[in-house]
């Protein structure tokens, strides 16, 4: 063993022996001797260690308090994130309850179990079947308006096609009953695929943007007065005898959660007072949910902006054509002016 290592080992042994001797002496000493000695050691030799222990305890408490505050903040944030969804669901359920109170009878409430059928788009499965009185071609509605119709019925489940399905058709009219047509799915690309078309409107009739379109009751499938959509604009087609209008549907496919299936007797009796105004007039939008009213206002604003943009484009084209014509006229006049002196300065022809 090296001499330095032996020296360190002896020193450690001596310190251990001294410490044990002092410890035994302290244990055997009286309180009058031990307490002042303990206080002196705490104030001198152990003071840095006591300070470190105090700082470590404060740090531990601070980290613990920080963790509690973080947990409380995260909990509040999670509740805040879920609050709009809960408010939206609460409002939707309240509207459905209001629709049930207005219908009073002849309907079956159901939940949408999936967003599409197996192997087919624009199809939903609802939790109501033949045992509840659901039949094929029963209308499916929400508080906002028409969703679609039942296609297949099982004892406890049913399959329904929504308005975006290519086979969907509904006889419709303007809310005031002035214009009639056939509503079908708009066969365009995304996102226009989730729009509707109102076809077969006579050429002599026009529909203003923002007009509410409801079912007409013709055909016996859908009762009269169910909101279908709102007019966006007129579409350009090759038909010479009829107009086609583009509609924004009253029911968004992303909001299909709770629906109501109208039974056969209720369809025959009609539901026109359900979505009509309180005084029975033709202004169906008076009692429509705020969602539809906001859609109408937004559609009118978008249509106004589109009309202003079209007017500005036409004015720009007219100004461009006029400027080009003026420039061409000035160029022709300049060429004529430059050619005139050459004709005047030509030598006279000899006889």
Cβ neighbour number for residue 221 with a 10 Å cutoff? 15
Domain that holds residue 193: 104-305
Confidence class of residue 288 from pLDDT cuts 50, 70 and 90?
very low
**CATH number, position 231:** 2.40.10.340
Assigned domain for 297 exists:
yes
Assigned domain for 64 exists:
no
**Which tops the pLDDT comparison, 1 or 49?**
49
The residues, any chain, with a CB within 8 Å of residue 265's CB and separated by 6 or more, are 106
| pTM across the whole model | 0.56
Token output for 65: 């308090």
What integer pLDDT is reported at residue 292 of this predicted model? Answer: 41
Assigned domain for 146 exists:
yes
Token output for 218: 């013709």
What integer pLDDT is reported at residue 30 of this predicted model? Answer: 72
| pLDDT per position as a tens digit, 84-94 | 767 777 777 78
Assigned domain for 15 exists:
no
| pLDDT per position as a tens digit, 101-111 | 888 888 999 98
| pLDDT per position as a tens digit, 76-85 | 777 766 667 6
Is-contact 99 182, C-beta < 8 A?
A: no
Assigned domain for 292 exists:
yes
Assigned domain for 14 exists:
no
Structurally, how many domains does the chain consist of?
1
The pLDDT of 258-285, averaged and rounded, is 71
Torsions phi, psi for 90 (to 5 deg): -65, -45
Can you say how many angstroms the Cα of residue 325 is from the centroid of all Cα atoms in its chain? 50
How many whole angstroms separate alpha carbon 186 and alpha carbon 197? 5
| pLDDT per position as a tens digit, 42-66 | 778 777 877 888 888 888 888 888 8
Assigned domain for 280 exists:
yes
């Amino acid at each position: 063993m090296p001499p330095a290592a032996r020296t360190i080992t002896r020193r450690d042994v001596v310190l251990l022996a001294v410490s044990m001797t002092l410890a035994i002496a302290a244990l055997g000493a009286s309180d009058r001797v031990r307490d002042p000695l303990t206080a002196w050691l705490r104030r001198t030799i152990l003071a840095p260690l006591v300070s470190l222990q105090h700082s470590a305890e404060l740090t531990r408490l601070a980290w613990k308090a920080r963790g509690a505050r973080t947990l409380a903040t995260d909990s509040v944030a999670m509740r805040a994130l879920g609050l709009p969804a809960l408010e939206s669901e609460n409002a939707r359920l309240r509207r459905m309850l209001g629709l049930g109170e207005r219908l009073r009878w002849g309907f079956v409430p159901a939940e949408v179990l999936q967003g599409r059928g197996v192997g087919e788009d624009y199809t939903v499965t609802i939790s109501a079947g033949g045992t509840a009185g659901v039949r094929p071609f029963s209308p499916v509605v929400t508080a906002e308006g028409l969703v679609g119709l039942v296609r297949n019925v099982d004892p406890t489940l049913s399959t329904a096609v929504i308005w975006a399905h290519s086979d969907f058709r509904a006889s419709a009219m303007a809310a005031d009953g002035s214009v009639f047509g056939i509503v079908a799915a708009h066969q365009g690309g995304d996102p226009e695929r989730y729009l509707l078309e109102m076809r077969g409107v006579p050429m002599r009739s026009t529909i203003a943007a923002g007009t509410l379109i409801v079912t007409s009751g013709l055909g016996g499938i859908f009762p009269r007065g169910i909101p279908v959509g709102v007019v966006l604009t007129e579409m350009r087609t090759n038909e010479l005898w009829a107009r086609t209008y583009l509609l924004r549907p009253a029911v968004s496919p992303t909001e299909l959660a709770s629906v109501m299936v109208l039974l056969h007797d209720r369809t025959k009796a009609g539901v026109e007072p359900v979505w009509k105004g309180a005084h029975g007039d033709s202004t169906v939008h008076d009692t429509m949910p705020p969602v539809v009213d906001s859609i109408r206002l937004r559609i009118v604003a978008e249509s106004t902006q589109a009309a202003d943009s079209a007017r500005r484009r036409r004015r720009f084209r007219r100004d461009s054509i006029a400027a080009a014509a003026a420039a061409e006229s000035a160029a022709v006049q300049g060429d004529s002016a430059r050619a005139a002196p050459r004709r005047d300065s030509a030598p006279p022809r000899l006889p």
